[in-house]
Amino acid sequence: MSHKDVVLYSIKNRIATIVLNRPESLNALNREVLEKLSAALEKAKKDQEVKAVIITGAGEKVFSAGADIKFLNSATPLEVRDLAKLAVEVTSKIESLGKVVVAALNGSALGGGLEIAESCMLRIAANHARLGHPEVRIGAVAGFGGTTRLPRLIGKGRAAELLLTGNSISAEEAYAFGLINRVVEPENLLLEAENLLQEILAQSPIAVTLTWEALHRGLNVTLEESAHLGADFFGLIASTEDFRTGTKAFIEKTKPEYKGK
Burial of 133 (0-12, 13-18, 19+ CB in 10 A): buried
| Other CB atoms within 10 Å distance of the CB of residue 110 | 25
Starting at the edge strand that comes first in sequence, how are the strands of the sheet with 130-132 ordered? 62-64, 108-110, 130-132, 168-170
* d(C-alpha 259, C-alpha 261), whole Å: 5
Question: Which residues touch 2 (CB under 8 Å, ≥6 apart)?
Answer: none
CA atoms of 249 and 254, how far apart (whole Å): 5
- SS percent in the chain: helix, strand, coil, step 5: 55, 20, 30
Instruction: Name the residues annotated as catalytic.
Output: 115, 135
**Three-state secondary structure call for residue 246:** helix
- Cα(16)–Cα(35) distance, integer angstroms: 17
Closest CA to 219 of 148, 159, 158: 148
